[in-house]
Structure 1
Amino acid sequence: MNLAAILASTDSGVIGNEGGMPWRLSTDLRRFKRLTMGFPIIMGRKTFDSIGRPLPGRLNVVLTRSADWAHEGVRTVNLEEALAIADQHEQAFVVGGAEIYRLMLPYCQAVHWTRVLADIEGDTRFLWDRSEFELLHDEAFPAGEKDSVPTRYEIWQRQ
């Protein structure tokens, strides 16, 4: 299984606020699209609701405890089914939110982390333990024209 998490967060673990992202990062969204195009993306229902639609060019997989939740263009699964889907593909990505990262990170071989370099308030947090991972790539991105804050893009590989 080649499963990776894609995560944008502050160093204090903020990943969201009031059902959305508390920053604007056009540069990061373009990278996200480039990385995930053609591969399954696994997310929780709240993350899907914040996006509002299936993302084109990818198998959209929503992990939910609600057996009756459904949306056109989305495959609704439990944890075991999500892992089976990831195992059937060359690559799959976990894209949030906090509870899904907690459940799926133990199965991830890599983390693509966009470190948001600002002190931002938020009501959704996820902190991850990097002790089992090795930093492979680290690149600084100043805030571009359509970015509200500077970031660092890091790729961590499980040891």
Structure 2
Amino acid sequence: MLAAIWAQDEQGTIGKENRLPWHLPNDLKFFKQMTEDNTIIMGRKTFEGMGGRPLPNRQTIVLTRDKAYHANGVIVFHTVEEVLEYAKNFSGITFIAGGSAVYEDFLPYCDVLYRTVIHHSFDGDTKFPAVVWDDWTLINLSVGEQDEKNSYAYQFETYQRKVAAD
């Protein structure tokens, strides 16, 4: 199964200078909980923006056009087709985890979307690509808990792709 997972502000901002423009520990916990023991796919800039090292307890795949690119502890793919073939043969969930161009490439193939919406507006340079929401059904919504460490209102949303009618 192929799924996209991301956090965004109310304007669709997902990043600034290849990093998250906010600090929301509960969203990071959600990301960890969802992706552990699965595979995450990200572009080279996103991977390097996270420190250039794989996250523990999950397979990391870096997607890049640079045929000479190498990073320790990750698989490097160069095409969408390589990722789709991998996902087809992987028994767990293959999560698309950024950046914007990678999300755009894979949205047509995703079965499920996991979106965290932060009810705030941040300065950023990267937006999530346009989603045709008519193709998706909201199957779960839960309001996140605000506290001293999670100072923004936010919610977790899960969408499933609608099955096309015959």
Report the TM-score when normalising by structure 2. 0.91
Aligned to 1:9: 8
Is the 8 Å Cα contact of residues 24 and 149 (structure 1) preserved in structure 2? no
Is the 8 Å Cα contact of residues 138 and 152 (structure 1) preserved in structure 2? yes
Measured after TM superposition, the shift of residue 129 of structure 1 is 2.4
Deviation per CA, 1:3-60: give whole Å up to 9, x if none: 1100111231100012210101100111111111111100111110111110111110
Is the 8 Å Cα contact of residues 23 and 149 (structure 1) preserved in structure 2? no
Give, in whole Å, the separation in 2 of the partners of 1:56 and 1:119.
31
Runs of at least 4 residues off by over 6 Å: none
Give, in whole Å, the separation in 1 of the partners of 2:94 and 2:28.
17
Larger radius of gyration: 2
Aligned to 1:125: 127
In percent, how many aligned pairs have the same letter?
Answer: 39
Instruction: Name the SS of the counterpart of 1:82 in structure 2.
Output: helix
Is the 8 Å Cα contact of residues 109 and 157 (structure 1) preserved in structure 2? yes
Structure-to-structure mapping, 1:136-151, within 5 angstroms: 136-151=139-154
Aligned to 2:87: 86
Q: Which amino acid in the other structure matches residue 115 of structure 1?
A: V
Measured after TM superposition, the shift of residue 102 of structure 1 is 0.1
Report the TM-score when normalising by structure 1. 0.95
The number of aligned residues is 158
The answer to whether the aligner puts 1:101 opposite 2:103 as a matched pair is yes
Give, in whole Å, the separation in 1 of the partners of 2:151 and 2:126.
19
Give, in whole Å, the separation in 1 of the partners of 2:38 and 2:145.
28
Deviation per CA, 1:54-96: give whole Å up to 9, x if none: 0111110011111111101011102111111111112110011
Q: Which runs of 5+ in 1 are unaligned?
A: none
Measured after TM superposition, the shift of residue 142 of structure 1 is 3.7
Aligned to 1:18: 17
Q: Which runs of 5+ in 2 are unaligned?
A: none
Superposed CA RMSD in Å reads 1.1
Aligned to 2:62: 62
The answer to whether the aligner puts 1:48 opposite 2:47 as a matched pair is yes
Is the 8 Å Cα contact of residues 4 and 112 (structure 1) preserved in structure 2? yes
Give, in whole Å, the separation in 1 of the partners of 2:84 and 2:75.
13
Give, in whole Å, the separation in 2 of the partners of 1:111 and 1:72.
29
Give, in whole Å, the separation in 2 of the partners of 1:9 and 1:47.
15
Measured after TM superposition, the shift of residue 143 of structure 1 is 2.6
